[in-house]
Structure 1
Amino acid sequence: MRIVVFGNPAPQGSKRFLGRANSGKGIMVESSKAVKPWREAVKYAAINVMDKLLLAELYPLHSASLSVCNPLKTRLIGPVSMRIIFTLPRPKSAPKSRLYPDRKPDLSKLIRSTEDALVDAGVIEDDARIVQFYAVKAYPKSGGETLNRPGAVIIVEEI
């Protein structure tokens, strides 16, 4: 399954403790304001791809007009392999000679926010199912599968 998302990739940050609910459970909120729009963008892009895959399964004669990779089951429940190519905005202060965004945000935190959004969208059952991973941070138009603007290309395959 190939999912293309446009928007500024945001890291899953730390949680802040607000206090306790009446039930005694702790109330935790995300400290980063940018993560919610990113997770929503990933979630809706993933749901859109899954809808196309479902249509391709239901109407195979019309699936040639759908721009999807390979019609699979929509929810991946077994072990999966994942590749994510994050395209980050190039800061105006970054020299043209800098090929990679080797500053914040951390790649591991970008992965975490994106994985959580894919679980929320129902693409994968649980992020513990990911047994193989490849991830890259790059600037726009730097070749390969990078996008021409900020976002991500996410490839999820059942193993």
Structure 2
Amino acid sequence: MTAPTFQLTVYGTPAPQGSKNRNAHGALYESSAAVKPWREAVKFAALDALTHDTQWRPLDEAVRLDVVFTVKRPKHHYGTGRNAGVLKPSAPCFPTGKPDLDKLVRSTQDALTDAGVLADDSCVTAVFAAKAYVLTGTDALSHPGAVLRIWSQPNVSKEPQP
């Protein structure tokens, strides 16, 4: 497999791009207060990575996005008292609760667009996304965050020739 066109590691608590609400004056705002810090973390990490590439132009061709979100285990996965640091046998291996994976991808794609990595998030034609607990698998980080890789998709013939 070829090297990714762009890759990035972001630290922070992944947050979903949720619904929008209206205040009493009719202005829209995010229903999740955590989405702004997450989008800022992704944006600033991307901008920092792009400062080293003076020739960078936002990607406007078809791309594939691979992202692994690392989330912290809830406290109830661990024992209490002298077993406070011991994982319970009943603790799940994978984070199946909130936040929803598709909403995490939405907030991350929006941040990549804001940072100038993507010209528009509509150029993402394929997505591989996963959630993992801290240090529990490939690309799982030691702290909450995400590992992102973007590959340019090959431009194959649009229609078969007779």
The structure 2 residue matched to 1:91, chosen from 67, 70, 74, is 74
* Matched residues, number: 137
- Alignment RMSD (CA, Å): 1.5
Q: How does 1:9-88 map to 2 (within 5 A)?
A: 9-18=14-23, 27-54=27-54, 73-88=56-71
Three-state SS of the structure 1 residue aligned to 2:138 is coil
TM-score normalised to the size of structure 1?
0.81
The letter of the residue matching 1:153 is V
Task: Please give the alpha-carbon distance, in whole angstroms, between the structure 2 residues aligned to 1:74 and 1:4.
Answer: 20
- In the TM superposition, residue 27 of structure 1 has moved relative to its aligned partner by 2.2
TM-score normalised to the size of structure 2?
0.79
Q: What are the ranges of 5 or more consecutive residues in structure 2 without an aligned counterpart?
A: 1-5, 78-87, 154-162
1:155 aligns with 2:153: no
Identity %: 45
Task: Please give the alpha-carbon distance, in whole angstroms, between the structure 1 residues aligned to 2:58 and 2:9.
Answer: 17
Task: Please give the alpha-carbon distance, in whole angstroms, between the structure 2 residues aligned to 1:53 and 1:145.
Answer: 24
Task: Please give the alpha-carbon distance, in whole angstroms, between the structure 2 residues aligned to 1:74 and 1:5.
Answer: 21
Contact 1:50 1:74 in 2 (8 A): no
Task: Please give the alpha-carbon distance, in whole angstroms, between the structure 2 residues aligned to 1:46 and 1:89.
Answer: 23
Larger Rg: 2
| CA deviation string 1:74-99 (max 9, x = no partner) | 42111111000000011111245411
Task: Please give the alpha-carbon distance, in whole angstroms, between the structure 1 residues aligned to 2:57 and 2:11.
Answer: 21
